[in-house]
Amino acid sequence: MARGIKDRVAIVGMGCSRFGERWNDDAETLMVEAFDECIADAGIDVSRIDAAWLGVGFEAQSIGPSGIPLATALRLPDIGVTKVENYCATGTDSFRGAVYAVASGAADIALAMGVEKLKDTGYGGLPARSRGLNFDMYGVTGSAPGNFAQIAAPYRAKHGVSRDDLKRAMAHASVKSHANGAKNPKAHLRKAIDIETVLNAPMIAEPLGLFDCCGVSDGAACAIVTTPEIARELGRTDPILVKSIQLVTSNGWELQHGGGWDGTYFHTTRKAAARAYAEAGVTDPREEIDLLEVHDCFSITELVTMEDLFISKEGEAWKDILDGFYDADGHTPCQIDGGLKCFGHPIGASGLRMIYENYLQLQGRAGERQRNDGPKLALSHNLGGAPIQNVSAITIVGLEGA
Amino acid sequence: MSDFGILSCGIYLPRRRLDRTAIHDANRWFAPGLKSLARGHRAIANWDEDTVTMAVEAARACLDGRDRAAVEGLTLASVTHPFADRSNAGIVKEALNLSERIAALDAGGSMRAATSALRDALEGSRTRLCIGSDLRKARPASEAELVQGDGAAAILVGRGVPIARLVASHSVTVDFVDHFRASGESFDYQWESRWVREEGHLAILADAVQALLAEAKVSAGDIDHVVLPIASAGAVKAIARKLGLKDEAVVDTLSVEIGDTGTGHPLLLLASALDRALPGERILVTGFGQGADVLLFEATDAIADHRSCRSVAARIADGMPDHNYMRFLFHRGLIDLERGIRAELDQKQPGTTLYRKRAAVLGLVGSRCTVTGTVQFPPSAISVDPNGRKQGAQEDYPLADRSARIVSYTADALGYSPDPPTYYGTLDFEGGGRLVTEFAEVGSDDVEVGRAMRMVFRIKAEDEQRRFTKYFWKAVPVNEGDA
């Protein structure tokens, strides 16, 4: 394995817009909102940014192609802007581009932006779209909940979990995220709910009910990264350092190799997690990782991901969830900001929103929802596609020395 | 004896059988006079079925267990071909994964197109698949809506071990317009049924039968099975009486169970007769429409081996009663439900990509790595096997007739479907290969991890802007009685 980039890049500024149904904003104004916070946090002139990455998931339905929308929205100083799209892992991939530019020495200071404007489609959920000319002939253009729901039945069958136990554990994950989101002023959904509400909600894609699904939101989030040396020059005494970034893309094995993958887990997440821990020097993730922000597009995704990140044992995440292990006051909080479930899910922004929360928590700046046991190492997990073919990205950030 | 004749037959009936009382209950206020027709059921195709998909399924039943390389020609007879200018028979050929070196023809224009195609095949020398299939549209509250049914039948004619041989044939052509439909129109225009019976069935058709019997020197009383594909039971009785046919020889027209399936109905009733015929028995088949075709067959000794598990009776019994008249109207495009913005997704199909991938899309042909043995769908240059990424070693591997099991599934109520929720999931084929596809004809009790499924050819989507039908394969549960 490559020697990695642990501690070679520091985050010196982050910003995140309020997520939600931003009827009176477009992608450009959302990017400005996130960037204003970010550049103030970094305390630098825009002219110092050497390169930028723009992540958008549904460009055809909003801002259109190329890096130009970011360059013009922020009037960036004649620099290269790269457009990134990698399903719902787009935000982390945008961050990865900026971080790698700094780690390589090609840029001193780089910007990663993620944005999505979804509420211009006229309906809830993600926009229906082509997946490419070949896929459209023999693939299933199901909805996002339909795609992710498919992990539930094989998981249940393999681990001998009853429908009710699984549904209740999934519901607990959502109830916990709603409780967390209620404390987050930037979150899309800020109402605490009880478990009965989740269990009795209308079915969207069996077994996912309405409250097993995350919000579809407008929003933007961004990060300014640089070297630890420049971070110190900028006056940062406690920079947040990138410990690892790993991204794994399905190659068709799960989809095409009958008898290989059994449908109960995310192959890419397991691969990415193992590499991310190795890069960051983490050997016991259940004890060493203090905070988790995962891609809880659906409750079942969060549940299975707890195992794929090697925090819960295989087949036992549902028990850990019901035990409160991942609650805000539990052993390892997951989605302490409300997660995709309640903070919201503006596709291209989500990976950066997760890193934003981890960044705030590690600096003790998370306000009412601050975890008070001195978190040092935080993981974010960003996933796009469907269980059977997807992109999984993991970022671990932490304090110096962590 | 000649080794040329009918080699096999197969039929397809859609699973849903709409209760005619449900139709009449909705329309009685407007058309109370149709009450006498409001009994029994009619077979109704699902939203994702059409003349081509039903033809494919009938042909698959007909070719089950046979070497498809023997098929030298294919005729698809119908008055409801989905495409006016694209060989519909050609689509069936791709779905059946038949050799490119065959002749394929769409026959139509009349209710006797299938019997004419069958006669041509029997009087030729090549092994030819003759299919009759129709999905006709009728106005709500019309007689046709109650009388018609959807379905298809296929007869394989050629060299081999025939189950029946053609003894004689006779055709007449007369421009007798009992009903008509101009090109591009949706609905038939029907003339008075009394005139059709007197001057059509009892004159043109009955005369043609008499002419054939005289020519063949066979008396009407010696016919063991008579196919008279006429919806009116009274007309059928009257013809039999006039001709001196034995009452018990008249093959049940299946009007009560499934309805008149159109162009393919004579072939469907012939299949029904072949199910019951004994060696040496005579079968008379008629087709009526702007004249008549009459074909006289004799069952051979091989009829005894004709497999009964695929019998017409079993297909009829495999129906699912349905009372949802509104769904039927919607699926036929007769009412316009609010489908929502999600349904607006552009379904444009580039001709180039379909042509390149036609074997995979229309024929469900995957590939197998000749080095590792790994089966994959869709095929690609490099083997997906993680232990042996071999390049350029893929061979064709048809999956359509392999059984499969459910790995995962869901019932999606969010995405647009004409029949929500959309069931879909992942299947593993016996012998290797994996596919994510939609499920058809399922309810919540039909899906579970490990459940056995089989593949059917269906409509995947309709490009409503350019009027192009996109086909692909879906999975249905393996039911008892499936061959």
* Nearest-CA distance A390 → chain B (Å): 14
For residues A38 and A353, is the Cβ–Cβ distance under 8 A? no
Torsions phi, psi for B394 (to 5 deg): -90, 135
Domain match, A224 and A315 both: no
Contact B449 A253 (CB under 8 A): no
Across the strands, what pairs with A84? A55
Give the Cα separation of A208 and A217 in Å (integer). 19
Please report the domains of chain B, with CATH numbers, ordered by start residue.
4-331 (3.40.47.10), 347-364+399-477 (2.40.50)
Of A205, A233, A261, which closes a domain? A233
State pLDDT tens for residues A3-58.
999 999 999 999 999 999 999 999 999 999 999 999 999 999 999 999 999 999 99
Interface residue A122 vs chain B (CB under 8 A)? yes
State pLDDT tens for residues B138-184.
999 999 999 999 999 999 999 999 999 999 999 999 999 999 999 99
Contact A142 B411 (CB under 8 A): no
How many other C-beta atoms lie within 10 A of the C-beta of residue B308?
A: 10
Domain match, A181 and A330 both: yes
pLDDT attached to residue B177:
98
Cis bond leading into B398, ω under 30°? no
Which of the pair, A141 or A184, is modelled with greater confidence? A184
Interface residue A257 vs chain B (CB under 8 A)? yes
pLDDT band for position B385 (cuts 50, 70, 90): confident
Contact B353 A133 (CB under 8 A): yes
Of A170, A198, A233, which closes a domain? A233
Contact B384 A251 (CB under 8 A): yes
Residue A36's domain spans which residues? 10-121+219-233
Is residue A5 in some structural domain? no
Confidence check: pLDDT of A220 > 70: yes
Kindly list the residues from chain A whose CB atom is less than 8 angstroms away from the CB atom of residue B470. Answer: 137
Q: Smallest Cα–Cα separation from B421: which of B391, B444, B400?
A: B444
Give the Cα separation of B188 and B110 in Å (integer). 12
- Written as six digits, the tokens of B302 are 């091989």
- Dihedral through CA A186, CA A244, CA A302, CA A135, nearest 10? 100
pLDDT attached to residue B310:
64
Is residue A138 in some structural domain? no
Domain match, A171 and A28 both: no
Give the Cα separation of B244 and B237 in Å (integer). 10
Residue of A nearest to B472 (CA): A138
Residue of B nearest to A205 (CA): B412
- Written as six digits, the tokens of A317 are 């995440």
Non-local CB neighbours of B114 within 8 Å, separated by 6+ positions:
B77, B107, B130, B131, B132, B153, B263, B264, B266, B267, B287
Give the Cα separation of B378 and A387 in Å (integer). 18
A345 is catalytic: yes
Domain match, A228 and A297 both: no
* Nearest-CA distance B356 → chain A (Å): 10
State pLDDT tens for residues A83-130.
999 999 999 999 999 999 999 999 999 999 999 999 999 998 899 899
State pLDDT tens for residues B176-190.
999 999 999 999 999
pLDDT attached to residue A281:
98
State pLDDT tens for residues B406-433.
999 999 999 999 999 999 999 999 999 9
Residue of A nearest to B461 (CA): A137
CA-CA distances (angstroms) from residue A360 to A136, A378, A398?
42, 11, 11
Q: What is the CATH number of the domain that holds A169?
A: 3.40.47.10
Interface residue A258 vs chain B (CB under 8 A)? yes
pLDDT band for position B483 (cuts 50, 70, 90): very low
Cis bond leading into B477, ω under 30°? no
Interface residue A138 vs chain B (CB under 8 A)? yes
CA-CA distances (angstroms) from residue B439 to B51, B91, B432, B435, B459?
20, 21, 19, 11, 12
Domain match, A87 and A204 both: no
Percent with pLDDT over 90 in chain B: 93
How many other C-beta atoms lie within 10 A of the C-beta of residue B175?
A: 6
pLDDT attached to residue B390:
84
Specify the 3-state DSSP secondary structure of A28: helix
- Written as six digits, the tokens of B254 are 């299946």
Chain A interface, best mutation among B414, B427, B449, by max A CB count within 10 A: B414
Q: Between A137, A205, A259, which is nearest B361 by CB?
A: A137
Mean predicted confidence (pLDDT) in A66-89: 98
Of A201, A233, A265, which closes a domain? A233
Kindly list the residues from chain A whose CB atom is less than 8 angstroms away from the CB atom of residue B429. Answer: 258
Is residue A166 in some structural domain? yes
Domain match, A198 and A345 both: yes
DSSP state of B204: I
Q: Give a three-class secondary structure readout of B86-147.
A: CCHHHHHHHHCCCCCCCEEEEECCCCCHHHHHHHHHHCCCCCEEEEEEECCCCCCCCHHHHH
For residues B160 and B129, is the Cβ–Cβ distance under 8 A? no
ipTM of model: 0.94
* Nearest-CA distance B397 → chain A (Å): 13
Q: Which of A172, A188, A267, A345 is catalytic?
A: A345
State pLDDT tens for residues A234-278.
999 889 999 999 999 999 999 998 888 999 999 999 999 999 999
* Nearest-CA distance B175 → chain A (Å): 43
> How many domains in chain A?
2
Helix axis angle, B113-122 to B265-276, nearest 10°: 60
Domain match, A65 and A107 both: yes
* Nearest-CA distance B93 → chain A (Å): 18
Is residue A137 in some structural domain? no
CA-CA distances (angstroms) from residue B165 to B99, B160, B169, B356, B454?
26, 11, 11, 41, 33
Domain match, A284 and A368 both: yes
Is residue A41 in some structural domain? yes
Mean predicted confidence (pLDDT) in A217-227: 98
Contact A143 B414 (CB under 8 A): yes
pLDDT attached to residue B368:
94
Is residue A93 in some structural domain? yes
Interface residue A141 vs chain B (CB under 8 A)? yes
Give the strand pairing for B282-288 and B179-180: unpaired
Interface residue A262 vs chain B (CB under 8 A)? yes
State pLDDT tens for residues B68-93.
999 999 999 999 999 999 999 999 99
pLDDT band for position B355 (cuts 50, 70, 90): very high
Is residue A390 in some structural domain? yes
Domain match, A348 and A204 both: yes
Confidence check: pLDDT of A293 > 80: yes
pLDDT attached to residue B386:
80
Q: Which of A88, A297, A334, A342 is catalytic?
A: A88
Q: Smallest Cα–Cα separation from A110: which of A67, A66, A59?
A: A67
Domain match, A250 and A223 both: no
pLDDT attached to residue B307:
64
State pLDDT tens for residues B315-338.
999 999 999 999 999 999 999 999
Cis bond leading into B378, ω under 30°? yes
Is residue A225 in some structural domain? yes
Domain match, A257 and A114 both: no
For residues B455 and B401, is the Cβ–Cβ distance under 8 A? yes
Contact A137 B470 (CB under 8 A): yes
For residues B266 and B288, is the Cβ–Cβ distance under 8 A? no
Domain match, A173 and A115 both: no
Mean pLDDT of chain B: 95
Kindly list the residues from chain B whose CB atom is less than 8 angstroms away from the CB atom of residue A202. Answer: 413
